Amino acid sequence: MGRNRCRTKRCSQAAMMAALTVASVSAPTFAATCRDHIQSAEAANLFPSGLMLAIGHEESGLDPYAINADGVSFHPASQIEAEAMVRTLQSQGARYIDVGCMQIDLHYHPDAFHDLSEAFDPFTNVAYGARLLNELLAQHGSWPTAIAHYHSSEPSRQADYLGKVASRYAALKGLAPTLSIAPADLRPRPKLKTVKLSVMTVERPSSTTAGGSSRWWR
């Protein structure tokens, strides 16, 4: 949920090096685990088929143990290593830590999970991601805007993210890469005929929360 946070200098090089001591070099091959839970969540929530899966691909690469800390990504080899890494990162001062299949930000969602074990459980992580998407869709009224806000409330970052998700969605559906997607086999919500992931449909936030930031989900 959001990237390039190390530009804020909130994460230290020491934190990153400490985390690397328990990280594997390459991402583990657990994509099927995230994929199965995401596809089940899509069906249960009547999301367009493949849409949440495209988001999961972009967020974590479908790695249930994926971590992003202040803009730096890690792929521990196991849940034990993932939990240890998060604790190390937190002790070293990392602030924005995204975890799991749907990269839930522990800073913005401190009550999402009872503990780190639950945070890295694919079913629970995906279920929370689906809940966020539902609430963002209800708040913003369109899939493109909901997806954009899943990543960030900053318009300058929304368009790039939306384009990446659109490309992944097109690839999953066997379509030509485009930002305007209208697959014929969507499993729609009532009256939903197409999912148009166009950067032109991303709206600037119309209001801000207390403290001047309109970012509340991510």
Q: Mean of the per-residue pLDDT values for the chain?
A: 77
C-alpha–C-alpha distance, residues 75 and 78, integer Å? 9
Q: Does residue 209 form part of some domain?
A: no
SS3 68: strand
Q: Does residue 83 form part of some domain?
A: yes
Inform me whether the pLDDT recorded for 134 exceeds 60.
yes
> Which of 1-5, 95-99, 158-162, 188-192 shows the lowest mean pLDDT across its residues?
188-192
The predicted pLDDT at position 1 comes to 72
CATH number at 167 reads 1.10.530
C-alpha–C-alpha distance, residues 75 and 140, integer Å? 32
The predicted pLDDT at position 44 comes to 97
Structural domains counted in the chain: 1
Q: Does residue 206 form part of some domain?
A: no
Inform me whether the pLDDT recorded for 189 exceeds 60.
no
Indicate the residue type of 207.
S
Q: Does residue 163 form part of some domain?
A: yes
Q: Does residue 212 form part of some domain?
A: no
Alpha-helical (H) ranges within the chain are: 13-20, 31-45, 51-60, 79-91, 116-119, 122-140, 143-151, 155-172
Note down the domain range covering 180: 5-201
Share of the chain above pLDDT 70, in %: 67
C-alpha–C-alpha distance, residues 172 and 63, integer Å? 17
Per the document, the length of the chain is 218
Q: Which of 7-16, 96-105, 136-145 tops mean pLDDT?
A: 96-105
| Residue among 215, 20, 196, 57 nearest 136 (CA) | 215
- Better pLDDT: 101 or 19: 101
Q: Does residue 208 form part of some domain?
A: no
C-alpha–C-alpha distance, residues 151 and 158, integer Å? 7
Contact 163, 179 (CB under 8 A): yes
Indicate the residue type of 118.
E
The predicted pLDDT at position 173 comes to 87
Q: Does residue 169 form part of some domain?
A: yes
| Residue among 40, 35, 68 nearest 53 (CA) | 35
